[in-house]
């Protein structure tokens, strides 16, 4: 019995050490841009809104030269509407941050864990991104197309515009008819890089010699 207990303790120790394994290389995100879009039921340019939200931190983990995964923290307090007048911008931004939508006081951050990148052939985008996103404490597995470039420890990802269902993350007016005038889909698009990006060419800026 004692031998069995000792064997179990050794196995548990090995599992713990494996789980705590440090990656050989961590590349931090130094350049990022995240955009969002929301729509009313009648989806027109006049009945939609768009804006930005900022990345708080991001990194890619490597085992030797192989990309293992990515971890990203989004600052929901930075959410901003950007397509309306200054007065309406403040009103809409405060509404999005309120308990009716993202509850940023209670949930100040969202997270995205990139789990894998699968190459695509003969497509507008060269990859499919897989990962888990957590908004308001709700985690969902998502996939979306993107152009991804990994060279040594440099990573550049430019996503296509992709949709999330806001109701999956409990983002809706509580007991209000207003909610029925808003589409369930929220669109997002982002660009992240471990190096500063050239906005015109969207490639890593070459380091000066």
Q: Which residues, including other chains, have CB under 8 Å from residue 58's CB and lie 6 or more apart? A: 28, 29, 32, 70, 71, 72, 73, 192
Q: Are 30 and 155 in contact (CB under 8 A)?
A: no
Report the pLDDT value the prediction gives residue 91, as an integer from 0 to 100.
87
Q: Are 38 and 196 in contact (CB under 8 A)?
A: no
**What is the rounded CA–CA span in Å between residue 116 and residue 70?**
9
Phi-psi region of 91 (alpha: psi -120 to 50; beta: other; left: phi over 0): alpha
* Nearest residue to 77 via CA among 91, 56, 59, 92: 56
- The pLDDT tens digits of the residues spanning 9-21 come to 334 333 333 334 5
Report the pLDDT value the prediction gives residue 85, as an integer from 0 to 100.
66
Report the pLDDT value the prediction gives residue 197, as an integer from 0 to 100.
58
- 192: number of Cβ within 10 Å: 24
Report the pLDDT value the prediction gives residue 121, as an integer from 0 to 100.
87
**End-to-end Cα spacing for the chain:** 66
Both tokens of residue 125?
Answer: 């985008």
Cβ burial of 73 (10 Å; 0-12, 13-18, 19+) is: middle
Report the pLDDT value the prediction gives residue 87, as an integer from 0 to 100.
74
Query: Which ranges of the chain have pLDDT less than 70?
Result: 1-22, 42-47, 84-85, 174-180, 196-209
């Amino acid at each position: 019995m004692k031998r069995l207990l000792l064997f179990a303790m050794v196995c548990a120790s090995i599992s713990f050490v494996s789980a705590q394994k440090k990656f050989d290389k961590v590349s931090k995100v130094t350049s990022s841009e995240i955009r969002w879009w929301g729509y009313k039921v009648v989806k027109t340019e006049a009945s939609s809104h768009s804006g930005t939200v900022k990345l708080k931190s991001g990194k890619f983990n490597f085992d030797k030269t192989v990309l293992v995964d990515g971890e990203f923290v989004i600052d929901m307090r930075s959410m901003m509407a950007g397509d309306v007048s200054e007065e309406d911008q403040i009103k809409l931004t405060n509404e999005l941050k309120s308990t009716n939508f993202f509850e940023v006081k209670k949930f100040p951050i969202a997270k995205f864990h990139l789990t894998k990148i699968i190459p695509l052939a003969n497509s507008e985008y060269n990859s499919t991104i897989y990962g888990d996103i957590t908004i308001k404490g709700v985690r969902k597995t998502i996939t979306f197309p993107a152009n991804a470039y990994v060279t040594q420890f440099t990573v550049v990802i430019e996503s296509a515009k992709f949709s999330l269902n806001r109701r999956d993350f409990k983002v809706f007016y509580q007991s209000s008819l207003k909610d029925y005038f808003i589409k369930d889909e929220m669109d997002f698009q982002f660009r992240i890089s471990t190096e500063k990006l050239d906005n015109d060419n969207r490639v890593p800026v070459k380091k000066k010699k």
